Structure 1
């Protein structure tokens, strides 16, 4: 085994260990709605006494959760709205989620990309071409529609040739509407019965239409250019 392969294996083992620890020690109980409701006043008092310390700790925790793809981002977003309010919560959560997504993107590219391309390189040529031509629009759609898991998008895009800068700003823009919904809902944390109650079918449909709109415009313009050239 080469030195580079050994390093990648070590990184993968560390990541797997961290994810396994989350489930083995049942850390998810700290990200439940009941726990957030019970701890809201306690954390609120801590935030009033040590605002920058709490903001920094929250930001670091959110980036870690997002980078590892742990099922706690929704609860953390609600907590951000409950603790920091709409505007501060929106800024902090938006930046933390984007940074976490970028770290996951880089980890996928560093750990998985070479091995996947060795096995399926010929099958990825068409995907690479599509990403180069319309990757920005596809990523925006995936980010905007909440039915696509956060960690899956991060991992898959890390296997493509998309530039990190493009991935970052498109993810930031695409995730912003959903982030605003959750942060705003966090201000009414005591009234929430479940996380699934935040996204009604009509809201998901609205996100889907908004996400598909840029693709529809691009396809329409491409069709128009072809007709004009042929004409």
Structure 2
């Protein structure tokens, strides 16, 4: 393997190593509702007295969690709602998740785009052509529908040649609804802890919440459908 190839693979290798170490040492046990229940009073007190530093640490931690694809995002956003309130918690979560997604996108594009393009050849060229025309709307759709793995949606646009600007903007907008929902769940943590109850992290899949998200996702594809119909009418 050549030195340039090693340099291209280094960012992805670092991200994969971080994930492997996290799983190997079982660090996910420190990021659970049970752990928060034990230390919620001290944590809330420190955040209240150091709000700016706490917000910065939270954003950086969230960015690292997404960049390393750690399986704790479903807990981190609610914790943001608990510590900072629903709206500020959602905002900080969106910023952190977007920064982490951008890191994964850049690492994947640096490491795999040229290799993927060389292997796929004409097939990739056709996929790229179709995706790039409406890449913003396609990605917005994928972000709004809460069934696609977040880490996978971070990588696929990089392999299909999407530009960084539209990728970051579509990610920023597309994760807002989910962030608000999960932050609202976290805002009720204090009450749940007092009652000895557990939060429902599957709330986003309840129909009264899922259907509006699917409706927003469908709306995001309307420009794509319109362009396709207009293109078909314009064809000889």
Alignment CA distance shift 1:224-1:8 (3 Å): closer
1:141 to 2:141 alignment: yes
What does residue 35 of structure 1 align with? 35
Quote the offset at 1:73 in angstroms.
1.2
- What TM-score do the two structures reach when normalised by structure 1? 0.91
Structure 1: gaps (5+ residues): none
- Looking at structure 1, the residues matched to 232 and 25 of structure 2 have their Cα atoms a distance apart, in angstroms, of 58
Quote the offset at 1:223 in angstroms.
2.2
Q: How does 1:145-160 map to 2 (within 5 A)?
A: 145-160=145-160
- Looking at structure 2, the residues matched to 225 and 5 of structure 1 have their Cα atoms a distance apart, in angstroms, of 41
- Looking at structure 2, the residues matched to 40 and 196 of structure 1 have their Cα atoms a distance apart, in angstroms, of 22
Quote the offset at 1:8 in angstroms.
2.7
Quote the offset at 1:226 in angstroms.
4.6
Quote the offset at 1:53 in angstroms.
2.1
Q: Deviations over 1:119-176 (max 9, x none)?
A: 1132211210112211111111000000011100001111122111111111111111
Give SS of 1:95's match: helix
Partners of 1:185 and 1:198 within 8 A in 2: no
Equivalences, count: 230
What does residue 207 of structure 1 align with? 213
Partners of 1:40 and 1:82 within 8 A in 2: no
Alignment CA distance shift 1:124-1:186 (3 Å): same
What does residue 219 of structure 1 align with? 225
- Looking at structure 2, the residues matched to 156 and 220 of structure 1 have their Cα atoms a distance apart, in angstroms, of 24
Partners of 2:98 and 2:168 within 8 A in 1: yes
Q: How does 1:1-231 map to 2 (within 5 A)?
A: 1-189=1-189, 190=192, 191-220=197-226, 222-223=228-229, 226-227=232-233, 229=234
Quote the offset at 1:221 in angstroms.
5.6
Give SS of 1:112's match: helix
- What TM-score do the two structures reach when normalised by structure 2? 0.89
RMSD across aligned C-alpha pairs, in angstroms? 2.0
Alignment CA distance shift 1:198-1:222 (3 Å): closer
- Looking at structure 1, the residues matched to 198 and 164 of structure 2 have their Cα atoms a distance apart, in angstroms, of 36
- Looking at structure 1, the residues matched to 87 and 12 of structure 2 have their Cα atoms a distance apart, in angstroms, of 36
Q: Quick check: 194-203 or 84-93, which moved more?
A: 194-203
Partners of 1:104 and 1:155 within 8 A in 2: yes
Partners of 1:33 and 1:194 within 8 A in 2: no
